[in-house]
Structure 1
């Protein structure tokens, strides 16, 4: 699994979407189906957002110029449609700028080439339908993706389980809670390997048998 850089984001990437989501109090789920283009990839980083005009990718060119190492570039529209906001040339730029990953709430194209480039990408669709370049759109503006508010600088975590967002001001607390959850799950796993059952460890058997008494 690829990481999202050193430090807090690297740890969030390692811990993964499911752990971070649960540890955050089941908040921040991007509740939409995305295609993970690079098998096995998982990343985390601060959101760098482009809100594009209708079926238009003008804002993607601007956000590519503003991308910094470690960013998760979030590309969306107010009303997403399966139009390709990004292809191999723009992804080449984002990779050269040091982006950690890309979340596309629209379509990508040149999918085989994008896989060869190796930059982790999650996309809602794969379509070749081209975008216009008539609307500037907005860069570093909050956006709602899959029912979740994403603000510039919020932590975006992506892996095989999907996407979760942690508000920037909660990253330290959620990271601490995620590490604690990881430790608890490791201890539980050892008990299960030794023959223990969650039915007993969670007290379900005692509650069920007590109800039947």
Structure 2
């Protein structure tokens, strides 16, 4: 499946294969370092400082999806914790991206479902604003619409438009093949400085 290919290739490779488009240019911390995951986005746009929309989105969540939780303005308010994680895990979420804070981080780090967040805080969220579910949101200057594919690993996250998944998958395969060839050349002692013509340009 393409999602597995994207996860294995990783954020940097998929981002480059997309023509350096789609990067979520914010600091995202994986609670379980070394995790790699990809899948379609299921989005909750919460009210500011409120996580009622997170409770609602759980009723929409499907296996293999990446749960995306955000607010109009990112802030260190805990939108997600152990009890909500239990629901997401039961629903079969492939991963969770929280453009805010999480709580119960030690417990979340033990789950088979990896979680990425901007902050770790105990600051509680209210449950007074319904917010919106299954809507487009912008994180790190990148718009994510429901069904777009997110790739997450230790380098952060990148987004692939749903309409571009097949073409990007082909570009990823081509890039990986090219990188394998370069890796073999560098392993024999060849320098990228020479292969890319930089030495000749510098006259050294």
CA distance in 1, matches of 2:54, 2:70: 9
Match of residue 185 from structure 1: 179
Contact 1:38 1:118 in 2 (8 A): no
CA distance in 2, matches of 1:117, 1:197: 42
Contact 1:23 1:178 in 2 (8 A): yes
Match of residue 202 from structure 1: 196
CA distance in 1, matches of 2:150, 2:181: 28
Aligned partner of 1:101 among 84, 95, 101? 95
CA distance in 2, matches of 1:178, 1:190: 18
Match of residue 9 from structure 2: 15
Match of residue 65 from structure 1: 59
Contact 2:94 2:113 in 1 (8 A): yes
- Please say if 1:135 is aligned against 2:129: yes
CA distance in 2, matches of 1:201, 1:123: 39
CA distance in 2, matches of 1:35, 1:193: 32
Match of residue 87 from structure 1: 81
Match of residue 164 from structure 1: 158
Would you say how many aligned residue pairs link Structure 1 and Structure 2?
Answer: 204
Post-superposition CA distance 1:27-49 (Å, at most 9, x none): 00100001100121010000000
CA distance in 1, matches of 2:33, 2:154: 8
**TM-score after normalising by structure 1:** 0.94
Post-superposition CA distance 1:42-67 (Å, at most 9, x none): 10000000000010000001111110
- Two-structure CA RMSD over aligned residues (Å): 0.9
Partner SS for 2:98? strand
Where structure 2 has 5 or more consecutive residues not aligned to the other structure, the ranges are none
Where structure 1 has 5 or more consecutive residues not aligned to the other structure, the ranges are 1-6
**TM-score after normalising by structure 2:** 0.98
Contact 1:59 1:137 in 2 (8 A): yes
Contact 2:77 2:101 in 1 (8 A): yes
CA distance in 1, matches of 2:10, 2:111: 23
- Please say if 1:174 is aligned against 2:173: no
Post-superposition CA distance 1:95-144 (Å, at most 9, x none): 11000000000000001111122311110000001111101100000000
